[in-house]
Amino acid sequence: MKVELLHIVECPNWEETGVRLRAALDAIGQSSVDIDYVLLQTPEEAARRPFAGSPTILIDGEDPFPSGGPITVLACRVYQTGKGLAGAPTTEQLTQALRERL
């Protein structure tokens, strides 16, 4: 399993997303899977990736939380959670997304 977290410097949510992603991987017994953090610094870099805003999580190259599609604007992203919109998916949402790809 390949797990990537695409982010921009200006977005404060990527670090918490990384913490939650690590917890989700550990919860499903995938502690040995590394998270590749990919810093996007230009719109051109964003255009080369399936970037939907920061943070974008990719599991084996796919976004488990499809939204309006890829963007090239270096912007933050929001996720729908059980408590409304948030800057990161919950650990439970990440755990479920990872389980679906095992």
Residue-range domains of the chain with CATH? 3-100 (3.40.30)
Residue 57, pLDDT score: 97
- Is 26 within 8 Å of 32 (Cβ atoms)? no
> Would you give the distance in Å from CA 79 to the centre of its chain?
10
- Would you say residue 11 has pLDDT above 90? yes
pLDDT tens digits, 37-84: 999 999 999 999 999 999 999 999 999 998 888 889 999 999 999 999
Q: Is the dihedral of CA 51, 91, 65, 75 positive or negative?
A: negative
